[in-house]
A and B are shown apart, each in its own frame.
Chain A
Amino acid sequence: MKTTVVGIGNVLLSDDGVGVWLVHRLLAAYRFEPEIELLDGGTLGLGLISHLSETDRLLVIDAASTGSKPGTVVVMRGNSVPAILRATLSAHEASLCDLLAALTLLGRTPREFVAIGIEPHSLAPSVELSGLVRDAIARAECEVIAQLSAWGIACESLGLESQAALTL
C-alpha cells in the first residue's frame, strides 16, 4: 500500500506555495512509519505522473480559493474531490485536474484521494507567506497528520519548533 503526500504550488508567489512549504516542514519535522513519499510537486502538473502513477493513497496539499477567509483550511475527501474538480476542469488551473484525468485514463487512479486546501491571502511575488497563511500552517499540518494516522501511518515528531524549517 503506497502513500504519497504532494505539496503543490509556486514558492515564488507567496501563499501560492503554501503546500510546498508544508511538505518541506513535514520532511524536516517528522519521521514516518512505515515509509511514505513526501513530494515537493511545485507546479509540475502532468510532469508528476511518473511520481504518482504507482500510489494507492494520495494526499494533495495546495492553496485553494474557496471564497473563505484567508488561512481557512479545508479538507476534501473521496467522492467530493472529483466532483469539485469536474466543476473546475476547464478553469485556469487545470493541471491537477488534468493530472487526475490522465491517471484515470492510464487506469492508475489512486484508491483514496484527499485534498487539503489553504485559502491564500497574497499571491504577490515573494518567498514569504502572508501572516494569516503562516498561522494556518500548523492547522493544516494537524490535518495532514490526522489523515496519515487514519491511514495507519505513525508520525513521530522530531520536536522542531512550529513554523521552523520553512526552507527549500
Chain B
Amino acid sequence: MTRIVIDPITRIEGHLRIEATVDGGAVNDAWSASTMFRGMELVLRNRDPREAWLYAQRICGVCTTVHALASVRAVEDAIGARPPINARLLRNIIAGTQYIQDHIVHFYHLHAFDWVDAVAATKADPAATARLAQSISAWPQSSAGYFKGIRDKVKAVIGSGQPSLFANGYWGHPSYRLAPEANLLLVAHYLEALEWQREIVRVQAIIGGKNPHPQTYLVGGMAIPIDPNSQAALNMERFDQIRGLIERAKAFVEQVYVPDSLLLAAHYPEWFTYGAGHRTYMTYGDFAEPSSDISAYRFARGIVRPARGMHVESLDQNKIAEYVTRSWYAYPNEKAPLHPWEGLTDPKYTGPNPPYDFLDVDEKYSWSKAPRYAGEPMETGPLARLLVSYASGRPEVKKAADGALGTLKIPLASTLGRVVARALETQLMSGWLIEWLDQLIANVGTGDLRIHDGTFWEPSSWPGDCQGWGSHEGPRGSLGHWIRIKNEKIENYQAVVPTTWNASPRDANGVRGPYEAALIGTPVVDPARPIEILRTIHSFDPCMACAVHVLDLSGRQIVRVDADRGAGW
C-alpha cells in the first residue's frame, strides 16, 4: 500500500492537506486536514452586532459579499428586522454576480488544469481548433488566426521559463484525455475568462462602492440610495449599466462556460462514476424574491439522500451540530457535538510539530470541526442544490438538469457531476439576475424607493437578549452564521462555512467527512503525481477561507507530494 500526502492542495483558497492510502491503483482511505487555525469568530465577540458584517466579510477575501450577507441576515433574524424588497433584490443581484464570477474562476483558473494539458495545447492545429469551437458554440472569437495567436502566446510563456500560471501542472500525465485542439480551446478560454472577470465585478462596484470590499450592507436593508432623479443614487442610467454587464455575462456563460463544461464531460465519462461519497445532500435554500417565503426559494431547502429515494426531508437548523472529537479544539465533552449557538472555539493543538511526515490520523488531525446534520455528514454546494431543487420539483432546475442529463445520460452524484451542476446553476443564475433587475426597476417605478427599514436600528428596540441564524446559499454551498446578543453586544458568533461541511474530518463515530468519503475508490495511476485526487477535491471548490496572507520570502518549498511506497502500510 502507498501513502500519499498532498500539502497543500494548490489552486484553492487557503490551506488543505490530504493524506490518502492507495492500494491496487485506487484510494482506499483518506483524511482531510485543515492545517491552519482560523478562529476568526473570536474577533467578533463583544462588538456591536450592527458592525458584525464589516468584520465577517474579512473572513475570506474571495467570499466577502457572501459572509456580509449571512452576517446581516443573522442579526436581522435575531432582532426581527425586515429589509425592504428593494434591498433584498439588490442583495440578490450582488450575490448572483458573485456566483457567476466565482464559478467561472473556479472552472477555468482553479479546476481546468486537472483536465486540460496546457503543454499539449501548444501542439494543436489552429484550424482544427476553430472547427471544434464553431461546432459547439456560436461564440465569435473562434477563428484559426485567433487560436494561432493564443497557441504562440502560450508557447512563448511556457518556453520562457518565467514564473507563470502554467508553472505548476502534471503536464503529460497519462490521465489527460483531451486532443491538443480541445486543450487549446480551453486554454484560450482560460485567458478570456481572466479578461472577462475584470468586467463582471463592475456590477458590485456600482452597487457596493468602488472599494473592493463592499460598503453598502446595512442591518435592515442596504446603504445605497435609489432615486431615478438623482445622479448620486442608483438611477436608470446605473440600472442600464448593470443590465449591460449581466447580459454580457450571460452570453459568456451560455456560449463559453457551459459548452466547455459539457466538452469536458463528454471526454471524461468515467469521472461520472468516481467521487460520489456519502450521497447525502443538504441545502439551506435561498432566493425567494419577490416573495419572502421559504417555500418560494428558487434553490429549495432540504435534505436528500438519493440512495434512499428522492424524498426531500425538511431542514431544521436545530439539528446542526459540530463535533471536535477529531479536531484540534477542546469541548467539555469531546464525544458530544455542539449546536453553533452553543459553539466553542477553544483551540488546543495536539498534532505533530512541523516539519512532520504524517499526521496521526487515529487522533485529532484537523483545524476543521466536523459539522453533522442529525448526526450525518452532508455534502453542500452546487450538486446538493441541483439535487434538492430537482427533487423538490423546481421547474427551472428540472428543465436545466434534464437537458444536461438527456445530453450526457449520466448520474450526477460524482466528481464531474459537481462540475456540470455548477455550470448549470450559473446559467440559471444569469437568467435570474435579469429577472431581479426587472423586478427592482418595476418596483422603483411604482414610487417605492425604500432601501432600509430603521424600525429596529436602535438597540433599545431589540427584544433584549436574543439569538439569530443567517443562512445563505453561497457559490460554494450552504453558509450559516449564528449569533447570540447579550446586553446589546455579540456574546457568541459562529460561522459554519460550506467547506467546513465538505472538508470535515471524522466525527465521534468515526464517520468520514464528504471529501474523505468521495476519495474512496478514486483511481491513482501514479502516486507521485496524484492528479486524480486533485480532480475530486477540486470538484467541491474548496475554500478553506483562512486566507492568512503572508508573503513568504524565505523560499521554503512548501508544496510537497510524498509517496511513501510500502513501509508498514
Contact = CB atoms under 8 A, between A and B. Distances in A.
Contacts of B555: 84, 87-88
Contacts of B547: 10, 43
Given A102-B165, A106-B191, A64 B553 contact: yes
A33 interface: no
Interface string B154-187: 0001000011110110000000000000000000
Interface residues of A, number: 57
Contact of B548 (A47, A94, A104, A123): A123
A85 B163 CA distance: 8
A42 B63 CA distance: 11
Contacts of B105: 46
A70 interface: no
A43 B549 contact: yes
B165 A11 contact: no
A95 B549 contact: yes
A120 interface: yes
Given A97-B163, A105-B191, A106-B191, A66 B61 contact: no
A89 B167 contact: yes
Interface in A31-84: 39-51, 53, 62-67, 74, 82, 84
Interface string B128-164: 0000000000000000000000000000010000111
Nearest to B547: A43
A154 interface: no
Contacts of A94: 10
A142 interface: no
Contacts of B40: 12-13, 125
B165 A101 contact: yes
B197 interface: yes
B549 A88 contact: no
A88 B552 contact: yes
Contacts of B212: 39-42, 44, 47-48, 51
* Interface class of chain B by DSSP: loop
Interface string B515-553: 000000000000000000000000000000001111111
A158 interface: no
Interface string B185-229: 000000100110111011000000001110000000000000000
A117 interface: yes
A148 to B, nearest CB: 20
Nearest to A60: B551
Contacts of A127: 43, 55
Nearest to B554: A67
A12 B43 contact: yes
A64 B15 CA distance: 18
Contact of B164 (A49, A53, A105): A105
B308 interface: no
B211 A40 contact: yes
B101 to A, nearest CB: 8
A90 B167 contact: yes
Contacts of A62: 549-551
Contacts of B202: 50
A134 to B, nearest CB: 17
Contact of B552 (A65, A101, A123): A65
Given A91-B558, A105-B165, A8 B549 contact: yes
Contacts of A82: 162-163
B58 interface: yes
B211 A39 contact: yes
A133 B3 CA distance: 42
Contacts of B460: none
Given A42-B58, A51-B212, A66 B165 contact: no
Contact of B198 (A50, A66, A74): A50
Nearest to A74: B553
Interface in B49-66: 54-55, 58-62, 64
B39 interface: yes
Nearest to A86: B163
A111 interface: no
Interface in B37-53: 37-40, 42-43
6 contacts: A10-B547, A47-B62, A67-B554, A74-B553, A105-B164, A117-B551
Interface of A: 8-13, 16, 39-51, 53, 62-67, 74, 82, 84-98, 101-102, 104-106, 115, 117, 120, 123, 125-127, 168
Interface of B: 8, 10, 13, 15, 37-40, 42-43, 54-55, 58-62, 64, 105, 109, 157, 162-165, 167-168, 191, 194-195, 197-199, 201-202, 211-213, 547-559
